Amino acid sequence: MKFNTKAIHGGQKPEKSTGAIVPPIFQTSTYAQASFGASQEYNYSRGSNPTRTALEDSLATLENGTHGFAFSSGLAAIDCVLRTLKPGDQIVAGNDLYGGTYRMFTKLFKKYGLEFNYVDTYSAKNVSEAITEKTTLVWLETPTNPLMKIADIQAISSEVKKVNPSILIAVDNTFATPYLQQPLNLGADIVMHSVTKYLGGHSDVLMGALIVKDAKLAEELHFIQFAAGAIAGPMDSFLALRGIKTLHIRMQRHSENAKAVANLLKNHPKAGAVYYPGLDDHPNYEVAKKQMKDFGGVVSFSLKDESKEATFKFLENLNFFTIAESLGGVESMVNHAATMSHASMPKEARLKAGITDSLIRLSVGIEDIEDLLGDLEKVLSK
């Protein structure tokens, strides 16, 4: 199947007992058993649920994996990956990460004995040179949140596996989605999504996901998910399945609109630096063009007037861009990284990563582009 067909049919079949085209919401915690000790597919919904199974099969198909897992949030999915490690293991991670991921690394798992080495993943050499005998996992975001840096997944995977084939490569694919980028095809071992964002697509679901190809790794992740219990519920699974059916057409419009917004900002006298991998002056534009089908719906930038007053004035005067923590919905949203998505990062760490107090992140929705550009022009001209 081609991707657009996968989004609608991948991993999904009409429901057995009724023939329902849309997987029903199996709002149940437990299942009747034929007899004591009888083996059956569903026993207790923490282990598996038919609605969640339909979603997990769909996710695996979209990412060209063999096993998918749906969690209660994106951070719950990351937590599951880290639980496969042991005290003393080292993780090499990007220095420009989602603030919640950074918080989990530094505030939770560091005290359990995991070690973290943060590098600029713009260069595969930076990553390979950070590998030590303790390294068991490389954690990548690409594009990164919020600076839209691009990591060359294939080059990094190749270099890391040359050093030690047992090191796992995990990629947070939230910003790109499987429509634009498929990390398992490029050498990664684990793909992670905040399904809350583009996969759900309608700002009404909180969910995370992991997708893998290796059966042994899948067995370990499933055990941790079952034992720890951070599963996605059937109603959220139903909503995510609904969102996935239009992922391809939404991502086309998100990308189209974001390119127009990035070009407006790049050429506007009041805009400063603009971060978007679809601009040909982006440092890793060629890598992005090679590994992505298009460039996505997130644009970050700063104003030339980098004062807090100018930044907040811009944020508060927008009409079609709602100030909000999240991204990836059909509606446009605007985020101030320093006080919102990355507030949990110490200021020193934020600044070192390039996340200044004036940085603004736009999640460009699928509204009429003339309305979005007009909104930005109006506020910038004040």
User: Which of 242, 261, 294 is a domain's end point?
Assistant: 242
pLDDT, tens digit, 9 for 90 and up, residues 167-186: 999 999 999 999 999 999 99
Check whether residue 214 and residue 287 sit in a common domain.
no
pLDDT, tens digit, 9 for 90 and up, residues 211-236: 999 999 999 999 999 999 999 999 99
pLDDT, tens digit, 9 for 90 and up, residues 62-105: 999 999 999 999 999 999 999 999 999 999 999 989 999 999 99
| 350 noted as active-site residue | no
CA dihedral over 42, 48, 52, 57, signed as positive or negative: negative
Confidence of residue 51 (pLDDT cuts 50, 70, 90): very high
How much is the average pLDDT of 257-283? 97
How much is the average pLDDT of 124-134? 96
The answer as to whether 2 is a domain residue is: no
Check whether residue 170 and residue 314 sit in a common domain.
no
Check whether residue 58 and residue 34 sit in a common domain.
yes
The one catalytic residue in 96, 172, 236, 375 is: 172
Confidence of residue 11 (pLDDT cuts 50, 70, 90): confident
| 46 noted as active-site residue | yes
Task: Classify residue 266 by its DSSP letter.
Answer: H
The one catalytic residue in 31, 46, 242, 290 is: 46
Query: End-to-end distance of the chain based on CA atoms, in angstroms?
Result: 50
Check whether residue 227 and residue 313 sit in a common domain.
no
Q: Is the pLDDT of residue 344 over 80?
A: no
| 357 noted as active-site residue | no
Model pLDDT, residue 179: 98
Check whether residue 64 and residue 199 sit in a common domain.
yes
The answer as to whether 1 is a domain residue is: no
How much is the average pLDDT of 190-216? 98
User: Which of 201, 224, 242 is a domain's end point?
Assistant: 242
Check whether residue 215 and residue 254 sit in a common domain.
no
Q: What is the mean pLDDT of the chain?
A: 95
The answer as to whether 189 is a domain residue is: yes
pLDDT, tens digit, 9 for 90 and up, residues 290-326: 999 999 999 999 999 999 899 999 999 999 999 999 9
The answer as to whether 3 is a domain residue is: no
CATH number, position 104: 3.40.640.10
The answer as to whether 230 is a domain residue is: yes
Strand partners, 251: none
| 172 noted as active-site residue | yes
The answer as to whether 4 is a domain residue is: no
Domain assignment of residue 221, given as a range: 11-242
Q: Is the pLDDT of residue 335 over 90?
A: yes
CA dihedral over 36, 41, 42, 47, signed as positive or negative: positive
Q: ω before 165 within 30° of 0 (cis)?
A: no
The one catalytic residue in 197, 259, 293, 361 is: 197
User: Which of 215, 242, 269 is a domain's end point?
Assistant: 242
The one catalytic residue in 52, 98, 189, 236 is: 98
Rounded distance, CA 295 to CA 254, Å? 9
* C-alpha distances out from residue 290 to 139, 155, 198, Å: 21, 12, 21
Check whether residue 121 and residue 163 sit in a common domain.
yes
Check whether residue 181 and residue 153 sit in a common domain.
yes
Check whether residue 192 and residue 103 sit in a common domain.
yes
Check whether residue 262 and residue 327 sit in a common domain.
yes
Confidence of residue 40 (pLDDT cuts 50, 70, 90): confident
* Count of the separate structural domains present in the chain: 2
Check whether residue 183 and residue 156 sit in a common domain.
yes
Model pLDDT, residue 165: 97
Strand partners, 44: 30
CATH number, position 342: 3.90.1150.10
Model pLDDT, residue 186: 98
The answer as to whether 292 is a domain residue is: yes
The answer as to whether 365 is a domain residue is: yes
Phi, psi (rounded to 5 degrees) for 257: -65, -40
* Amino acid code (one letter) for 198: Y
Check whether residue 143 and residue 265 sit in a common domain.
no
